[in-house]
Structure formats: structure tokens, C-alpha cells
Structure 1
Amino acid sequence: MIRATRVIRRDALQTGEIVDRIVLDSGDRHRRRMAMKGVGGLAFLLDLPAATVLDDGDALALEDGRLVWVEAAAEPLLEVRAASPIALKRLIWHIGNRHIPAEIGEDAVYIGFDHVLADMVRGLGGTAEPVERPFRPEGGAYAGEAAGHHHHGHSHSHSHD
């Protein structure tokens, strides 16, 4: 099986024969090694030296020089907004306290669709509207590790001795 061994970032992509494309959600865009199949049927093995976050518009370079285009899939999300910047910061704090991936925009935060979190946001005075769009969650302080799968030594157990 042919391997894809290198990522070419969209801003560095100049020339090359794009032979297929893959459409991936945010979880599948963070990989190191995985068998993949393009929309056009090209089967290949993603075989990168380290786990890498692929973004919309990047390309995967196959061993023979051909390219596979990366497209970010639309995902069901909640668009969280608030009446003021300070109110949005408070909502971000509550969302972050739940350790869920979030994409922080200028005046909105995007999280995976979850009716419980939508109710929480609304209960705190914000809005939480369902949207479908590509999801680009923050890498966080542990960006060198798998996004959303890091271990940060924060325990949730509490002693009552």
C-alpha cells in the first residue's frame, strides 16, 4: 500500500498532482498512522513521523510525489455567544472546566453538540445555537500531545481524611 509520509501545509502548497481528497472530522485530522481511503477511492497509509493535526487545505504527499487534498468535514457543533466579552469569558471558563475541546473565536466559542452543555450555557445567560461547520479546537498547553487526549496530572479525586 502506498504511504503518505509528509504534510504540506496549505500556505506552502505550490504545485503537485492532486489525485484524491480525504474529508475528515476534527478527531480524524489528528493522526500519525492510519489506513485511509480518499473520496475517489485511493487507498493509502498515513505514516507520519509524529502525530500531526491536519487542517483544511493541507495536502498529504504520497511516496511517489502525488498529493491527497485534506478537507475538514462539517460537524454538528454549538455556537456559544454571550451579551458581553466578560460574559463570554465566564462561559469559556465553565466550558473549560468540563475539559472538552473548544474552538475560541473573536465573539463566539464552538464546542461539540451536546444538549446538556447547551442547557448549561443558556442557564448561565448565554446562547447556544446548533451549527454545522468544520471544527478546529484549540491545541492547548499540551499541543505537542494528542489534542484532547493529553494527561495533565489534574486529579478529580478528593480526600476526606
Structure 2
Amino acid sequence: MIRIERRLPARVDFAQRRLTLPYAERCKSRLRVHLDNDEEAGLFLPRGTVLRGGDQLQADDGRVIELLASAEALYRVQAAPDSKDPHFDLLRAAYHLGNRHVPVQLQPGVLLLERDGVLRELLLRLGLRVSEAIAPFEPEAGAYGGGHRHDHDVSGGMLGEQLSRLAHGDSAPDFSGQQFHLLR
């Protein structure tokens, strides 16, 4: 099994292999995966890393691997055709989704999110049009640059994380030896 421990800071002209992952798997820093040629690999990236389609990774043997975002089952949310203020309707929906920490991909006039029946009902009650889509999912990274984090990484700057580090120190369990789940 090859080890992948590094995301390249800049794109190179070529990649020897490809790795296709859904968003939920691109948020994991430790993961057993299979490359496009079915070769087994292990991701060992810094905690809090969120991979994006188009990122390039480097394996321990020097090979460059291009990451592709897989197509996923999503909801496409738009203002109703008869909306008096479609921009406000989408803004209100984004507020309610953000309040629930739901990852959302923003496009002009459209919100994309992972399918969830409860969220669909909420959006319909807000008067929005919700349709199903299959597409790569690339949600917003957030105002602080990365994905939504609940770890207690020393680089975290949010007040709650700082207070947690003060209260708990380095006593958080280390899961770096955790077993991987096989994806096929």
C-alpha cells in the first residue's frame, strides 16, 4: 500500500494516477482508498485537511495523484419562479442551512447541498424550489479557510477551540492509529 502524506502546494503538469472521492471522504485526514487503477493507498494528511477536486497529492514513492470530486446525490435549491425577492429567499435559506452547519455549495441563483429529507422539508416550507441533482460537491470552505472543524488542533483560532484547549490541554485522545474502512 502506498502512503499519501502531502498535498502539493502548486499544480504540476502531470499526474500518474487519479483518486475519486465524495465530499465526506475528502474531509478525512486518515483513510484507506483505491486509486483509479485499483491500487490500495492510505491517506495520512494533516488533521483538518479538506481536499478539493483538482488538488494534487504526492505519494511516498514520488508519484503525483490528482484528486477528483465524485458525482453525488444533491439537492439543487432555487427561489420559486413566482418569488417577489429571489435573492432574499436564497439568502434566508443559506442562513437557516448555515445555522445548522450544513455544507453548502454556492452558485449564482442556486444552493447545492447533500440530500437530507428534513432539510428538503425545511426548504420547501420556506417556499423554495428543491430538485434533485447528481454532481460533484464542492461546498464553501468557510470564512476561516478550511472546512467545518470540531477538532482541537493547535492551529484553530476560534474562541471555543481556544477555551477548550485551555480547559483540556493536550488530553484529547489520539486516533492516529485508528483502523481504516475499505472503500470500493
TM-score (normalised: structure 2): 0.70
Structure 1 CA distance for aligned equivalents of residues 12 and 149 of structure 2: 33
Aligned residues: 148
Q: Deviation of residue 39 (structure 1)?
A: 2.4
Q: What's 2:29 paired with?
A: 32
> Amino acid of the residue matched to residue 46 of structure 2?
P
Gaps of 5+ in 2: 152-157, 161-184
Higher helix share: 2
> Amino acid of the residue matched to residue 106 of structure 2?
I
Equivalent pair of 1:55/1:72 in contact (CA under 8 Å): yes
Q: What do residues 30-77 of structure 1 show as CA deviations (whole Å, max 9, x unaligned)?
A: 232222211212112212234311111222111221122211011111
Q: What's 2:65 paired with?
A: 68
Share of identical aligned residues, percent? 34
Structure 2 CA distance for aligned equivalents of residues 14 and 93 of structure 1: 38
Alpha-carbon distance change, 36 to 93 in structure 1, aligned in 2, over 3 angstroms: same
2:142 to 140, 143, 155: 140
Which aligned runs of 4 or more in structure 1 are off by greater than 3 angstroms? Answer: 141-144
Q: What do residues 65-101 of structure 1 show as CA deviations (whole Å, max 9, x unaligned)?
A: 1122211011111111114111111111122222222
Structure 1 CA distance for aligned equivalents of residues 31 and 94 of structure 2: 33
Q: What's 1:107 paired with?
A: 109
Q: Deviation of residue 127 (structure 1)?
A: 0.6
Equivalent pair of 2:6/2:59 in contact (CA under 8 Å): yes
Structure 2 CA distance for aligned equivalents of residues 45 and 107 of structure 1: 38
Higher strand share: 1
Q: What's 2:20 paired with?
A: 23
Equivalent pair of 2:48/2:149 in contact (CA under 8 Å): no
Partner SS for 1:4? strand
TM-score (normalised: structure 1): 0.79
